[in-house]
């Protein structure tokens, strides 16, 4: 590993995972307390840390492949379900079974594993909290007390993150904050109203904010600023769920709120209050944490079209070079080569030319037109999609999708995130450098005609639309396709900036609260080398909202945010089409060929199901008191 702290963390986490392993057949991953009897354990801070690392191992598997959820949006496709692209390591099982490749058919029974593993994470966190609290009366050293309270704070923060995800997916769910040693203890527990769980999460994040250190004590651990940022995010979602005056989504939610959760009644005054509270939390992180965007938010150098040696700073934010960066505000560490704890980013997003990767997740070609001009700061004219078999000048025509010149002077995050016709990258096989290769859609072998060397084709056999990923694909040797050591961010500082802008816009308008909202959006835009937004052009809430949404699309691309944003904004109909629309929405590749059609004559019921997940049938069979969400009855 690159530093000793990280090595120690991984080894402890591995040991803890082994001690606490189980088959996950039931709702709960029961804690084998007999293996670590209290008479021998729970005596020192090291014991508490050991158990906490076990909780991190459990909870990490609920967040470290969130990019897969982007397959339920419009800018990423996953070409198979999670069944097909998971390694055998148990850390992946939470996502396994889910389908992430069809936005118009989702949220159903495929997510039983995620539900089950979420409660496994909750139980591990309760295990840590309950036992460390028992230790405290016997500790007299103030520093040790503070450290143990910090460990409790981390456990409570992790628990709140899990419950936040649970209610985001399923609404009302069973809540418990004690160790469960038998499934019989919860076999008849009822679903807890979302408002109660929201308050529990708020209290957990608040405790963590008050007791965690300013900076993580080790790689992959959490800080008070991360806890405060998550409290702000919780309140932002609460504001969205309670909102009754959305300008869109009227077909399924004419009165706003979350009608698919029939036990919940939206309250606009509660929404207004939550927007202000969220903005206050985010603002405190922005102004008082002393943290900044990676490389001070500077764009760096972009290189020319086709350059593979000079990449913007944004690219390196998604490699282990940025693991210690403040911007990765809340994250989960991975061990890297030889630990069985590596990330699988390259496996999921790379090509056969990069360590034999499988390219399960690839950009939809439509993301190309979201990258704005570095000259004007506005959207460029949509590229023209031409089939070279019928258009002889497809590779040279001005503004053709196949002409590299069509992409000159674009947002630097485009060069960092995706590859288009004529782009090159370092390629590796067997952990060693192979050669520099060039991308051309549908050309997998041989040299690509029309280009100077290096022009050997990238074998992108998974590509289906005319773009491939550069983001997350490592460009140095020695790392296997599932052996990355990146600290996956559950929340980045740039996300905090954009969530603050959203909350402040709703609470005070684009220029209220001292004008910070437009300022922080411009800080995010600056890393793409884009001109700043002018306040006079974005003086109304709706116009500024769309500017924030644009930044969320390109800044957080493929990080697992888009699906959740569309749901909380009631924007499925706005982005795709209204229910029962004949023809639906058609997506085309860079050659103009039809690749997918979504939401074609899709019923109201299926739209409703997009907004709320199905309570797993297997859990309802075990527990007669678990009711089902209305769209799934």
User: Residues 57-71: pLDDT tens digits?
Assistant: 999 999 999 999 999
Is a pLDDT exceeding 80 seen at residue 82? no
Tokens of 98: 């889910």
Residues 6 or more apart whose CB falls under 8 angstroms from that of 538 comprise: 510, 518, 544, 547
Mind listing the pLDDT tens digit for each residue in 385-405?
999 999 999 999 999 999 999
Q: 177 by DSSP, 3-state: which?
A: coil
Residue 190 CA, chain-centre distance (Å), reads: 30
Asked if residue 90 has pLDDT above 80, the reply is no
Burial 359-383 (b: 16+ CB within 10 A, else e): bbbbbbbebbebbbbbeebeebeeb
pLDDT at 582 over 50: yes
Please report the pLDDT score of residue 16 as a whole number.
41
How sure is the predictor about 106, in pLDDT bands with cuts at 50, 70 and 90? confident
Report the pLDDT value the prediction gives residue 92, as an integer from 0 to 100: 60
Per-residue pLDDT at 337: 84
Residue 15 has pLDDT above 50, yes or no: no
The CA-atom distances, in angstroms, between 178 and each of 173, 230, 370 are 16, 22, 47
Question: What percent of the chain clears pLDDT 70, i.e. is strictly above it?
Answer: 92
Span 186-230, pLDDT tens digits: 889 999 999 999 999 999 999 999 999 999 999 999 999 999 999
Average pLDDT, the chain: 92
CB atoms within 10 A of CB 569: 18
* CA–CA distances in Å: residue 555 to residues 239, 329, 416, 496: 23, 15, 11, 12
Query: What angle do the packed helices 142-170 and 194-211 form, to 10 degrees?
Result: 150
3-class SS string, 241-274: HHCCCCCCCCCCCCCCCCCCCCCCCCCHHHHHHH
Instruction: Say if CB 73 and CB 365 are below 8 A apart.
Output: no
Provide the pLDDT for residue 300: 98
- Which has the minimum average pLDDT: 18-32, 106-120, 302-316, 424-438? 18-32
Residue with token string 């590859």: 419
Q: What is the DSSP letter of 522?
A: H
Predicted confidence band of residue 40 (pLDDT cuts 50, 70, 90): confident
4-291+614-622: which CATH architecture?
Answer: Alpha Horseshoe (1.25)
**How high is the pLDDT of residue 34?**
42
Mean pLDDT of 346-358: 95
Residue 28 has pLDDT above 70, yes or no: no
Quick one: pLDDT band at residue 367, thresholds 50, 70, 90?
A: very high
pLDDT band at 50; cut points 50, 70, 90: very high
Domain boundaries, the chain: 4-291+614-622
Q: Provide the token pair at 390.
A: 């019928």
Alpha-carbon distance values, 141 to 144, 147, 469 (Å): 5, 10, 52
83 pLDDT tier (thresholds 50, 70, 90): low
Residues 427-479 have pLDDT tens digits of: 999 999 999 999 999 999 999 999 999 999 999 998 999 999 999 999 999 99
pLDDT of residue 141: 94
d(C-alpha 630, C-alpha 604), whole Å: 13
The answer on pLDDT for 489 being more than 80 is yes
Which residues, 6+ apart, have CB-to-CB distance to 143 below 8 Å? none
Q: Check residue 580 and give its pLDDT.
A: 96
* pLDDT at residue 22 is higher than 70: no
Q: Which of 97-101, 262-266, 504-508 has the weakest average pLDDT?
A: 97-101
Q: 212 CB contacts (<8 Å, ≥6 apart)?
A: 150, 153, 154, 157, 222, 223, 224, 226, 227
Q: What is the pTM of this model?
A: 0.94
């Amino acid at each position: 590993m690159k530093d000793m702290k990280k090595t120690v963390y991984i080894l402890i986490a591995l040991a803890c995972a082994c001690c606490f392993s189980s088959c996950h057949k039931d709702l709960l991953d029961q804690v084998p307390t007999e293996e670590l009897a209290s008479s021998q354990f729970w005596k020192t801070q090291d014991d508490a840390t050991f158990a906490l690392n076990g909780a991190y191992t459990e909870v990490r598997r609920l967040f470290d492949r969130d990019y897969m959820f982007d397959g339920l949006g419009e800018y990423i496709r996953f070409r198979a379900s999670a069944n097909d692209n998971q390694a055998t390591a148990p850390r992946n099982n939470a996502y396994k079974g889910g389908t992430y490749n069809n936005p118009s058919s989702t949220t159903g029974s495929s997510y039983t594993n995620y539900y089950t593993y979420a409660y496994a994470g909750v139980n591990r966190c309760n295990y840590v909290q309950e036992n460390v609290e028992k230790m405290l009366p016997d500790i007299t050293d103030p520093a040790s007390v503070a450290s143990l309270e910090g460990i409790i704070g981390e456990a409570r923060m992790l628990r709140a993150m899990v419950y936040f995800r649970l209610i985001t997916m399923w609404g009302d769910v069973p809540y418990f904050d004690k160790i469960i040693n038998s499934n019989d203890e919860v076999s008849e527990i009822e679903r807890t109203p979302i408002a109660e769980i929201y308050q529990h999460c708020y209290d957990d994040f608040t405790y963590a904010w008050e007791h965690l250190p300013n900076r993580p004590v080790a790689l992959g651990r959490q800080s008070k600023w991360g806890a405060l940022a998550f409290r702000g995010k919780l309140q932002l979602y609460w504001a969205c769920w309670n909102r009754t005056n959305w300008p869109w989504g009227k077909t399924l939610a004419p009165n706003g709120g979350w009608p698919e959760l029939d036990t919940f009644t939206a309250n606009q005054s509660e929404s207004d209050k939550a927007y202000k509270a969220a903005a206050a939390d985010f603002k405190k992180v922005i102004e008082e944490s002393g943290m900044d965007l990676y490389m001070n938010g500077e764009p760096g150098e972009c290189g020319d079209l086709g350059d593979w040696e000079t990449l913007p700073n944004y690219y390196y934010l998604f490699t282990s070079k940025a693991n210690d960066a403040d911007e990765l505000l809340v994250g989960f560490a991975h061990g890297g080569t030889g630990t069985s704890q590596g990330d699988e980013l390259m496996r999921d997003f790379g090509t056969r030319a990069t360590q034999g990767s499988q390219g399960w997740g690839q950009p939809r070609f439509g993301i190309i037109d979201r990258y704005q001009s570095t000259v004007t700061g506005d959207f460029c004219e949509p590229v023209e999609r031409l089939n070279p078999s019928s258009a002889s000048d497809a590779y040279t025509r001005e503004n053709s999708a196949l002409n590299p010149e069509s992409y000159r002077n674009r947002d630097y995050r485009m060069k960092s995130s995706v590859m288009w016709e004529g782009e090159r990258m370092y390629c590796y096989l067997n952990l060693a450098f192979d050669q520099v290769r060039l991308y051309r859609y549908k050309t997998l072998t041989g040299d690509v005609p029309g280009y100077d060397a290096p022009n050997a084709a990238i074998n992108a056999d998974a590509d289906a639309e005319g773009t491939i990923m550069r983001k997350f694909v490592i460009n140095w040797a020695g790392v296997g396709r599932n052996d990355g050591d990146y600290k996956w961010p559950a929340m980045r500082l740039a996300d905090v900036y954009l969530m603050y802008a959203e909350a402040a816009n709703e609470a005070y308008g684009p220029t209220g609260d001292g004008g910070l909202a437009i300022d922080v959006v411009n800080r995010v835009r600056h890393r793409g080398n884009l001109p700043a937004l002018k306040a006079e052009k974005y003086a109304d809430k709706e116009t500024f909202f769309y500017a924030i949404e644009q930044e969320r699309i390109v800044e957080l691309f493929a990080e697992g945010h888009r699906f959740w944003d569309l749901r909380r904004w009631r924007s499925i109909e706005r982005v795709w089409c209204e229910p029962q629309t004949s023809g639906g929405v058609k997506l085309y590749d860079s050659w103009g060929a039809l690749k997918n059609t979504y939401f074609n004559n899709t019923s109201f019921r299926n739209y409703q199901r997009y907004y709320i997940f199905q309570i797993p049938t297997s859990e309802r069979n075990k527990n007669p008191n678990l009711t089902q969400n209305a769209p799934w009855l």
